[in-house]
Amino acid sequence: VSTSGTATDGEVVRLQLLLQSRDKHLDELSSRGHHGSQNELAEAKYEADVLRHQVRVLKEEVNERTEEIDRNLNCERNLRAEGFTLKGQIEKLEAQSQDDAQLSARFAETAVLWEDGKQQMAHLEQQLAEERGISRREFTDLSTESQRTVAAKEQVIRHQTTTIESLTVELKEKQAEIDKLVRLLGSDPSFAESRDKESLHKQLKAKESKIAKQSERLQAQGIDGNVGAEGQAEELSTARRDREQMRQRLADLEDATKSQPKVASHADAERRLIAQETKMREVDRQAHELKTQAESERQEKDNLIRELSALRGRMAQGASSSGNLETENDRLSKELEEKCGHLEAYAQEVKRLREEKAKEVVAAEWAPAPEAVEKQPGSDFSMVTSLPGLQRKLQRLEETDRNLGREVLYHLQEREAKIESLNSTIALLRATVDDLRERPAQQLAVFPGVDVGVRTDAPTPVGVGIGTEATSTMGVAVGTDGWPVGVGRGVPVGTDAALAGMARAAGPDQPYPAGVDMAINTSVPQSPADMSSMGQYPAGPSQIPPPSPRGQLPPIRRPPSREGSDPAVLAHELQELRRQHAEQRAELESLRAQQQQQEQQKQQQQQQQQRSEPPARSTPALASSAQDPAMLRELQEL
């Protein structure tokens, strides 16, 4: 029993130990399971947090991609609207280019008309030179005739001076004889008085006869020498008045002698001699005045000759500079017709003057003899001679020549002003046409990356492309090299050629208006790679495009922003394009308004010039010398 009891205790201990070990093992297992479950729970929570974070990130990416797709759709709609606007602007520019072509054709026609007008002007200048030569010859003839007349007048004055001197000598001799007789007969008063009276009576009669002969001689010399100066007529009338005064004085002396027979005859003789000396001094003074008058007339004639030579010099200068002038094209024919009418009127006037000259020469040849003219005190002999008529004709010819030179100068100045204004207008129009041809290429580039060309490797022709390669993320097709290409690959073309290619390439199957193709890929990417590819750009520094030649657009480059082209930038550039177009149109309108205003001013000045000039010789109105340069400067500044 003890043995069994001992064995039983040992078994119990062993079982207790086994239970303890098992409990310890269970405790270890429970603690391990608890720690493992805690670790797994923590890991599960961490994984759940990570998944939540990934879900949030994916939602944010989905929202961003949705917003980006919406923005791309809005950009597509805006680009389509801008495409239609650009197409309208291109059509307007094409219409303007057609107008410019018509204007160029009109300018070519104007150039042809100008050449014809230039030939006609050369012919008219030749006729004017012939008429000027005829006028010079006639003026030379009249000048020689006037010189001969002046020489004859000087000869008459010299002869008159010598005659007066001889009369003075005779008067002094008579005075000496009278003094001698008075001294001899001074003792006999009655005899001396009667003798003195008779001698004075005879001397006065001799003096009257000499004065009459001198007046007749002067009249004959004036008629024979074709002299008709008014000074000679006044001198003759003065001589007659002196003769009448001498008669009156003789009658007074006889009356005084009869009433006072005791008056000494010597004093009377002295008084008469003093009167005669006074009269001779008056005659000397008149001769001196005639001489000074002849000198003044000669000086006036020299001044007129110098003025005519200066006028000829100015006319020659204007004729030499007329070769560099051009005329206005629209009114050239009318001006030439007016100038022909003026020349015909001038020819008729010259012909009329020639006929009048011939009539006056015939009338001078058949003039009556000097004896047929009634000799009365105060009579006028100016109608007998022809010198005043010749002087009037000379003045008329000089005035005609002066008016003709003034008309030629005015006409040349007007042509020069019109030619300069036309040249400036043509230069401005050409510059405007060049700007209009260059600006469409710049205006089509709404943002950096717009190109006009034709894709040769695409089935559908493309007019506007955005991107850097043949196929970009936006789905816009351009040339493979990034530069605008024409019909052949890689051949740069200008704006006109690109527009022509767009017009030829567009067909009835195009979804948009002809000439513009906005091939934009609006498909939504389905994979994360596609979604990420929409916002990725090639790494490396951005390359600056080289400057494009004239008439070509810059190469296509990818926009710098992740979202693509900014609509605000596009709207701003569109507004800038519209503003430039409005400025262009305003400039053209201002040029047209200035041209119309200039034409109106010229017409008003022509009307004022026609109203201010005499009706017998109407000349075309001329532009003001102060306004034309100002208008030219304004046009050059514009």
Which pLDDT band, with edges at 50, 70 and 90, does 638 fall under? Answer: low
Highest averaged pLDDT of the listed ranges 106-115, 195-204, 587-596, 613-622? 106-115
Which pLDDT band, with edges at 50, 70 and 90, does 204 fall under? Answer: low
Structure tokens, 559: 């926009």
638 vs 419: which has the higher pLDDT: 419
500 burial level (CB within 10 Å; 0-12, 13-18, 19+): middle
- In angstroms, the CA 600 to CA 627 distance is 13
276 residue type, one letter = Q
Residue 172 has pLDDT above 50, yes or no: yes
- In angstroms, the CA 55 to CA 131 distance is 108
Residue 66 has pLDDT above 80, yes or no: yes
User: Is-above-0.75 flag for pTM?
Assistant: no
On whether the CB atoms of residues 346 and 404 are closer than 8 A, the answer is: yes
Query: Which of 169, 173, 166 has its CA nearest to residue 217?
Result: 166
543: left (phi over 0), alpha (psi -120 to 50) or beta: beta
- In angstroms, the CA 517 to CA 506 distance is 8
Which pLDDT band, with edges at 50, 70 and 90, does 33 fall under? Answer: confident
β-bridge mates for residue 477, sequence order: 471
Query: Which of 484, 461, 465, 491 has its CA nearest to residue 476?
Result: 465
Please enumerate, as own/partner, the contacts of 329-334 that have beta carbons within 8 Å and a separation of 24 or more: 329/110, 329/111, 329/113, 329/114, 329/117, 329/422, 330/110, 332/113, 332/114, 332/117, 333/113, 333/117
579 vs 56: which has the higher pLDDT: 56
The residue-averaged pLDDT of 246-266 equals: 62
The residue-averaged pLDDT of 26-51 equals: 85
Share of the chain above pLDDT 90, in %: 0
- Give me the residue label for tokens 């000494």: 264
Residue 559 has pLDDT above 70, yes or no: no
543 burial level (CB within 10 Å; 0-12, 13-18, 19+): exposed
318 vs 79: which has the higher pLDDT: 79
Residue 369 has pLDDT above 60, yes or no: no
Least confident of 62-76, 325-339, 552-566: 552-566
- In angstroms, the CA 493 to CA 501 distance is 10
Q: What pLDDT score was predicted for residue 6?
A: 66
Q: What pLDDT score was predicted for residue 232?
A: 60
Highest averaged pLDDT of the listed ranges 130-139, 378-387, 520-529? 130-139
Structure tokens, 517: 């193709």
Share of the chain above pLDDT 70, in %: 53
The residue-averaged pLDDT of 121-127 equals: 85
How many residues make up the chain in this entry?
638
Structure tokens, 623: 């532009």
Q: Which helix (H) or strand (E) holds 450?
A: strand 450-452
The residue-averaged pLDDT of 279-306 equals: 83
Least confident of 38-47, 320-329, 364-373: 364-373
Residue 103, C-beta contacts closer than 8 angstroms, at least 6 positions apart: 429
For residue range 581-635, list pLDDT tens digits in order: 677 777 777 777 877 887 888 888 888 777 765 444 444 333 344 445 555 566 5
β-bridge mates for residue 450, sequence order: 466
Which pLDDT band, with edges at 50, 70 and 90, does 495 fall under? Answer: very low
274 vs 177: which has the higher pLDDT: 274
3-state secondary structure of 626: coil
Residue 352, C-beta contacts closer than 8 angstroms, at least 6 positions apart: none
Residue 141 has pLDDT above 80, yes or no: yes
Residue 395 has pLDDT above 50, yes or no: yes
Q: What pLDDT score was predicted for residue 564?
A: 44
Which pLDDT band, with edges at 50, 70 and 90, does 516 fall under? Answer: very low
- In angstroms, the CA 137 to CA 133 distance is 6
- In angstroms, the CA 505 to CA 502 distance is 5
Residue 220 has pLDDT above 80, yes or no: no
Which pLDDT band, with edges at 50, 70 and 90, does 7 fall under? Answer: low
575 vs 107: which has the higher pLDDT: 107
Highest averaged pLDDT of the listed ranges 111-125, 259-273, 369-383? 111-125
Q: What pLDDT score was predicted for residue 98?
A: 86
Please enumerate, as own/partner, the contacts of 418-422 that have beta carbons within 8 Å and a separation of 24 or more: 418/326, 418/327, 418/328, 418/623, 419/325, 419/326, 419/327, 419/328, 420/628, 420/632, 421/598, 421/628, 421/631, 421/632, 421/635, 422/326, 422/328, 422/329
Q: What pLDDT score was predicted for residue 520?
A: 36
The DSSP symbol for 464 reads E
For residue range 309-368, list pLDDT tens digits in order: 877 777 766 656 555 556 565 676 677 677 777 777 777 877 787 777 777 766 666 655
- In angstroms, the CA 278 to CA 2 distance is 219
| Averaged pLDDT score across all residues of the chain | 67
- In angstroms, the CA 488 to CA 455 distance is 9
Could you tell me the CA-to-CA distances from 310 to 307, 314, 316, 405 in Å, in that order? Answer: 5, 6, 10, 11
Q: What pLDDT score was predicted for residue 515?
A: 38
Residue 101 has pLDDT above 60, yes or no: yes
Q: Which helix (H) or strand (E) holds 452?
A: strand 450-452
- In angstroms, the CA 408 to CA 414 distance is 10
Residue 231 has pLDDT above 80, yes or no: no
Which pLDDT band, with edges at 50, 70 and 90, does 112 fall under? Answer: confident
Residue 55 has pLDDT above 80, yes or no: yes
Residue 545 has pLDDT above 60, yes or no: no
Q: What pLDDT score was predicted for residue 493?
A: 40
- Give me the residue label for tokens 């001006």: 335
511 vs 81: which has the higher pLDDT: 81
